[in-house]
Chain A
Amino acid sequence: DIQMTQSPSSLSASVGDRLTITCRASQFINRYLNWYQQKPGKAPKLLIFAASSLQSGVPSRFSGGGSETDFTLTISSLQPEDFATYFCQQTYSTPFTFGGGTKVEIK
């Protein structure tokens, strides 16, 4: 199975901050990498697919990058509604594994 390692597992930030979350795959996944946002009691919501493509309707302050095994999710200017947990996911091979999540909290 491909292991997905996210860092950090949690962080505190302020509105307006720029933040970057990283996700490392245990093997090459050829940009089969997606990012989701989850708020308490809600289902995950797709933000970024195929490593860097912004899902329709998602604000442009979200961006994704990376290739091969190392990927990033960047929020250019954190907004109040962005406080949530973020997960990466690989769909290169089954089982489709997720990172452990990054909880973004208000400083």
Chain B
Amino acid sequence: QVQLVQSGAEVKKPGASVKVSCKASGYTFTTYAIHWVRQAPGQGLEWMGWINTGSGDTTYSQKFQGRVTITRDTSASTAYMELSSLRSEDTAVYYCAKEAYGSGRNWFDPWGQGTLVTVSS
């Protein structure tokens, strides 16, 4: 079955960087894009960006431009999201999600299990 498995929880100090991985299985990795979404404690969902896993092209939310880098390793069927210059407001659960599409529309399915990143001094 199609599955995304993310790396484990991280604790980082302000100013540091974090890199979260998302390993895909059950489908051809380079056929579908991977998106990254975060959710601060008790808050809603915030889209961060996506990667075309075939070409490696990326698009980022303006909010995170300059701080986020999404990459992929096709040989490992894994996508990565690195966020730099961390601050306390970046404490959140970070999700990857596989893009699916049909009839000219697109949606996210499935999602990874989430990775909690805690930023604290």
> A interface vs B, CB < 8 Å?
31-32, 34, 36, 43-46, 49-50, 53, 55, 87, 89, 91, 94-101
Distance between Cα atoms of A101 and B39 in the complex (Å): 12
Which of the residues A50, A53, A91, A101 comes within 8 Å of B44, measured between beta carbons?
A101
Residue of B nearest to A98 (CB): B45
CB distance A49 to B44 under 8 Å? no
CB distance B106 to A43 under 8 Å? no
Distance between Cα atoms of A101 and B43 in the complex (Å): 9
Cβ contacts under 8 Å, A89 to chain B = 45, 107-108
Majority SS at the chain A contact face:
loop
Distance between Cα atoms of A101 and B14 in the complex (Å): 29
Query: 19 A-B Cβ contacts within 8 A?
Result: A32-B106, A34-B108, A43-B95, A43-B111, A44-B95, A45-B110, A46-B110, A49-B105, A49-B107, A50-B107, A53-B103, A87-B45, A89-B45, A89-B107, A91-B105, A94-B47, A95-B63, A96-B47, A98-B45
Distance between Cα atoms of A62 and B46 in the complex (Å): 24
1/0 per residue B32-62: CB within 8 Å of A? 0001010000001111001000000001011
Cβ contacts under 8 Å, B50 to chain A = 94
Cβ contacts under 8 Å, A43 to chain B = 95, 110-114
- Extra 14 A-B pairs, beta carbons < 8 Å, given A50-B105, A94-B50, A96-B47: A32-B105, A32-B106, A43-B110, A43-B112, A46-B109, A46-B110, A50-B107, A94-B47, A94-B59, A95-B63, A98-B37, A98-B46, A98-B47, A101-B45
